[in-house]
Chain A
Amino acid sequence: AQSVSQHNHHVILSEAASLELGCNYSYGGTVNLFWYVQYPGQHLQLLLKYFSGDPLVKGIKGFEAEFIKSKFSFNLRKPSVQWSDTAEYFCAVMDAAGNKLTFGGGTRVLVKP
Chain B
Amino acid sequence: EAGVAQSPRYKIIEKRQSVAFWCNPISGHATLYWYQQILGQGPKLLIQFQNNGVVDDSQLPKDRFSAERLKGVDSTLKIQPAKLEDSAVYLCASSLDSYTIYFGEGSWLTVV
**Which residues of chain A have a CB within 8 Å of any CB of chain B?**
4, 6, 32, 42-46, 49, 51, 90, 92, 94, 97-106
Contact = CB atoms under 8 A, between A and B. Distances in A.
Contacts of A6: 42
Nearest to A44: B103
Contacts, number: 51
Contacts of A90: 42-43
Chain B binding surface SS class: loop
A106 B43 CA distance: 9
A98 B43 contact: no
A101 B33 contact: yes
B112 interface: no
A11 B110 CA distance: 28
Contacts of A105: 40-42
